[in-house]
Amino acid sequence: MVKEELLKKIRDLGFKVGYYGHDEFASWVWRKRKELLDEASKIGISEQARQVYEEGKELGHRQRIFDERKKKEKKLSEKRKREEILIKLELKREEFLNSNDPIVVASPKNIEKPRIIEKPKFIETPRILRRFFSLWD
């Protein structure tokens, strides 16, 4: 019973180190690993404990790679879905514009921006200062 619990703790520590990419020589990892391996050597399973730690570490590393691939695939599928939606919307827009609907025919084709949303002249840099600043460019 104690042996299995200890091996599970060692495997979990190895998994965390492998998954999160912790350095084995980091203080907390080093202390925890040494503590668990000392307990294992008291029971007489130190070699098995080292193997279980390495297996857990490798398993954690593989799981991390798998999760990253899965995350990338999910992002790509979401991007594809957005692109498909945009294409469908563009097709519907083209279809609507090419239809002979009275609303479309009566609507103006060339719409200019209202002057109220243009940038006011007083915000721009005065001409004399622009000339002055251009000396240093």
Structure token digits, residue 108: 């103006």
pLDDT at 108 over 70: no
Gap between the Cα atoms of 77 and 84, Å rounded:
10
The answer to whether residue 48 is domain-embedded is: yes
pTM: 0.58
Q: Is residue 54 part of a domain?
A: yes
44: DSSP letter:
T
CA-CA-CA-CA dihedral for 29, 35, 38, 40, to nearest 10: -90
Distance (Å, rounded) from C-alpha 101 to C-alpha 86? Answer: 23
Query: Is the residue at 104 inside a domain?
Result: no
Residue 65 maps to a domain? yes
Q: Kindly state whether residue 83 falls inside one of the protein's structural domains.
A: yes
Give tens-digit pLDDT for 30-52.
999 999 999 999 999 999 999 99
Please give the tally of structural domains in the chain. Answer: 1
Residue range(s) defining the domain that contains residue 60: 2-98
Q: Considering the domain boundaries, does residue 136 fall inside one?
A: no
Task: Rounding to the nearest 10 degrees, give the CA dihedral for residues 113, 114, 119, 122.
Answer: 150
117 vs 30, which has greater pLDDT? 30
Lowest mean pLDDT among 9-13, 87-91, 130-134: 130-134
